[in-house]
């Protein structure tokens, strides 16, 4: 094969690790955030997912459950052309590291991705489990694909991020579907969907609110958060059970509300008064027309079969449209084998736009393909 510049003996690209800055105008932070935006532009083709360096710094400085190390790949003239991360959930999974590498499309196939991956692999030495999540376009007709053992979903086998992960021994454990919902012109009116789902549901009531939860329901929300780590299909992935309590729910709320608007719909079981299901939407506060992220949606197992998933999702869509008239679209992730939740999303009008390869490896992390 034709040798790359890196293989011809040119110097390895410089990889720089930098700390979280004190202010958002710091040069490395600006470059890191610009590359994050470039990545999102490549994926979506729009600026809807952009986050300002100021908001990103506020969020990062407030994080208490995760530790994130940040890296930049520098071109020969010192221009940042890529970024990478080592993310560790030191509360629930201190022995596992989530890794990511992105190189700007104009600077690929020059050795930057390999050099950044090598540096991150060295710095992450000592962890026992590794995860990475390359996000890719939907596979095209006739394109070579990679499928998990479940057979649910597929990702492009020749995508640069997928190839890089495979070369370090990562295996595809699951495929996530990334879907978009058009808030302004939905395929189905969420108010109609909510009314239809509520007809047989006298045993339950739906509550919606924006902002922090009442202290009285935070313990119930913590139970639902814990179940999100174990109940959602995980394919071949090793997933650690998370531990939540009312205080952790409160801390997460405070962090979200620094830069976002937090909308929740919850189902209360009338007989017990317990919150047994929830849907979460987070809208960027400084970009009222930016993408809204759909976070958790879950119903406790003993209360499933009553269309409660549809009720909380539809109710939150109605609340979002009333409170945030500028909202244009929602983005969400679902495991391809999670057919019950995909059924709800599809019925509401969510459309697939991307796929995410959820890949995992066990340490030590070494390059296995020359």
Q: How far apart are CA 220 and CA 159, in angstroms?
A: 41
pLDDT at 128 over 60: yes
Whether the predicted pLDDT of 277 surpasses 90: yes
**pLDDT over 50 at 3, yes or no:** no
Span 119-128, average pLDDT: 96
The per-residue pLDDT for range 176-185, each reduced to its tens digit, is 999 999 999 9
Alpha-carbon span 153 to 347, nearest angstrom:
19
Higher-pLDDT residue of 231 and 275 is 275
> CA nearest 316: which of 275, 276, 269, 279?
279
What's the mean per-residue pLDDT of the chain? Answer: 94
Mean pLDDT within 42-57: 96
User: What does the block give as tokens for 172?
Assistant: 């595809």
Q: How confident is the model at residue 12 (pLDDT cuts 50, 70, 90)?
A: low
Look at residue 288 in the predicted model and tell me its pLDDT: 85
Phi/psi-derived region of residue 349, left when phi > 0, alpha when psi is between -120 and 50, beta in every other case: left
Q: Label residue 307 left, alpha or beta by phi (over 0 means left) and psi (-120 to 50 means alpha).
A: left
Cα separation, 126 vs 121, whole angstroms: 10
Contact 132, 113 (CB under 8 A): no
The predicted model gives 315-343 an average pLDDT of: 96
- Give the pLDDT score at 368: 87
Q: What is the pLDDT of residue 370?
A: 58
Contacts with 89 (C-beta within 8 Å, 6 or more apart), sequence order:
65, 66, 96, 98, 240
What are the structure tokens assigned to 3, written together?
A: 């040798």
Domain limits, the chain: 14-175+357-362, 181-356
Q: What percent of the residues of the chain are helix, what percent strand, and what percent coil, each to the nearest 5?
A: 30, 30, 40
Q: What is the CA radius of gyration of the chain?
A: 21
* Count of C-beta atoms within a 10 Å radius of residue 64: 12
Is the predicted pLDDT of residue 1 greater than 50, yes or no? no
256 strand-pairing partners: none
Task: Name the one residue in this structure whose structure tokens are 């690929």.
Answer: 108
What mean pLDDT comes out for the span 292-302?
A: 97
For range 138-147, the mean pLDDT: 97
Kindly report, residue by residue over 20-39, the tens digit of the pLDDT: 999 999 999 999 999 999 99
Average pLDDT over residues 255-277: 97
Angle between helix 190-198 and 339-348 (nearest 10): 130
Share of the chain above pLDDT 90, in %: 91
Say what percent of the chain tops pLDDT 70. Answer: 96
In the prediction, which pLDDT does 9 show? 41
Choose between 369 and 255: higher pLDDT.
255
Mean pLDDT of all residues in 245-249? 97
Residue with the larger pLDDT of the pair 119 and 6: 119
Range scoring the smallest mean pLDDT among 5-14, 59-68, 318-327, 355-364: 5-14
**pLDDT grade for 363, boundaries at 50, 70 and 90:** confident
Q: Do domains 14-175+357-362 and 181-356 have the same CATH topology?
A: yes
Instruction: Please indicate whether residue 175 or residue 2 has the higher confidence score (pLDDT).
Output: 175
**pLDDT value for 13:** 72
Q: pLDDT at position 6, please?
A: 36
Nearest to 111, CA basis, from 6, 8, 3: 6
- Residues 181-356: name the CATH superfamily: Gcn5-related N-acetyltransferase (GNAT) (3.40.630.30)
Q: How confident is the model at residue 199 (pLDDT cuts 50, 70, 90)?
A: confident
Assess if CATH 3.40.630.30 describes domain 14-175+357-362: yes
Distances (CA, A) of 234 to 122, 241, 295: 28, 12, 17
Strand partners for 132: 359
Pairing of strands 292-299, 329-335: parallel
């Amino acid at each position: 094969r034709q040798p790359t510049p890196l293989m011809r003996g040119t110097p390895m690209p410089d990889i720089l690790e930098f700390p979280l800055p004190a202010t958002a105008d710091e040069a490395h932070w600006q470059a890191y955030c610009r590359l994050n935006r470039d990545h999102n532009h490549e994926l979506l083709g729009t600026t809807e997912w952009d986050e300002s360096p100021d908001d990103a710094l506020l969020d990062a400085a407030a994080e208490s459950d995760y530790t994130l190390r940040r890296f930049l790949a520098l071109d020969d003239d010192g221009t940042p052309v890529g970024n990478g991360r080592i993310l560790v959930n030191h509360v629930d999974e201190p022995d596992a590291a989530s890794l990511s590498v992105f190189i700007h499309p104009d600077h690929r196939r020059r050795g930057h991705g390999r050099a950044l991956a090598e540096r991150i692999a060295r710095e992450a030495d000592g962890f026992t489990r590794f995860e990475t999540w390359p996000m890719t376009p939907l596979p095209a007709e006739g394109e070579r694909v990679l499928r998990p053992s479940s057979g649910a979903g597929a990702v492009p086998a020749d995508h640069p991020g997928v190839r890089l992960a495979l070369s370090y021994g990562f295996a595809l454990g699951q495929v996530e579907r990334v879907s978009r919902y058009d808030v302004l012109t939905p395929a189905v009116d969420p108010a109609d969907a909510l009314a239809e789902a509520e007809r047989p549901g006298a045993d339950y009531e739906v509550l919606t609110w924006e902002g922090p939860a009442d202290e009285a329901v935070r313990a119930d929300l913590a139970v639902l958060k814990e179940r999100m780590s174990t109940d959602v299909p995980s394919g071949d992935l090793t997933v650690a059970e998370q531990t939540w309590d009312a205080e952790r729910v409160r801390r997460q709320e405070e962090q979200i509300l620094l830069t976002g608007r937090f909308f929740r719909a919850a189902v209360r079981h009338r007989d017990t008064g317990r919150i047994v299901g929830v849907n979460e939407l987070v809208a960027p506060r400084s970009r009222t027309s930016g993408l809204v992220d759909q976070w958790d949606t879950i119903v406790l197992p003993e209360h499933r079969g009553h269309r409660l998933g549809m009720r909380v999702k539809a109710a939150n869509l109605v609340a979002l449209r009333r409170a945030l008239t500028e909202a244009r679209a929602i983005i969400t992730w679902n495991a391809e084998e999670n057919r019950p939740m995909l059924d709800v999303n599809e019925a509401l009008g969510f459309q697939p736009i991307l796929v995410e390869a959820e890949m995992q490896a066990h340490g030590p992390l070494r390059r296995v393909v020359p």
